[in-house]
């Protein structure tokens, strides 16, 4: 089969071209995905501050729940 493949130039060109195009598409998808991921993870100071506020609020709520549980245990 390989000898037949090597003897017929049109088949060789067709197969090599197909492999090349599929490789380019695959590489393009990987690069495009990397660009999109990089663009969405860039630091946005407003978003960072917003997320920090959420984190602070969760800590406050956790502390409030602990204090309420302690009050219940004492009563």
Q: How far apart are CA 57 and CA 70, in angstroms?
A: 20
pTM of the model: 0.47
Q: Are 53 and 45 in contact (CB under 8 A)?
A: no
Domain boundaries, given as residue ranges, for the chain = 1-42, 44-75
pLDDT tens for residues 5-33? 667 788 888 888 999 999 999 999 999 99
Cα angle 19, 24, 29; round to 5: 125
Could you give the residue ranges of the DSSP H alpha helices within the chain?
2-7, 9-40, 45-74
pLDDT tens for residues 50-68? 878 888 888 889 899 999 9
């Amino acid at each position: 089969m390989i000898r037949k493949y090597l003897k017929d130039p049109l088949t060789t060109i067709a197969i090599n071209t197909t492999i090349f195009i599929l490789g380019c598409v695959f590489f393009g998808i990987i690069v495009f995905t990397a660009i999109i991921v990089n663009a969405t993870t860039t630091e946005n100071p407003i978003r960072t501050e917003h997320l920090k506020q959420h984190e602070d609020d969760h800590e406050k709520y956790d502390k409030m729940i602990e204090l309420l549980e302690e009050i219940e245990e004492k009563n």
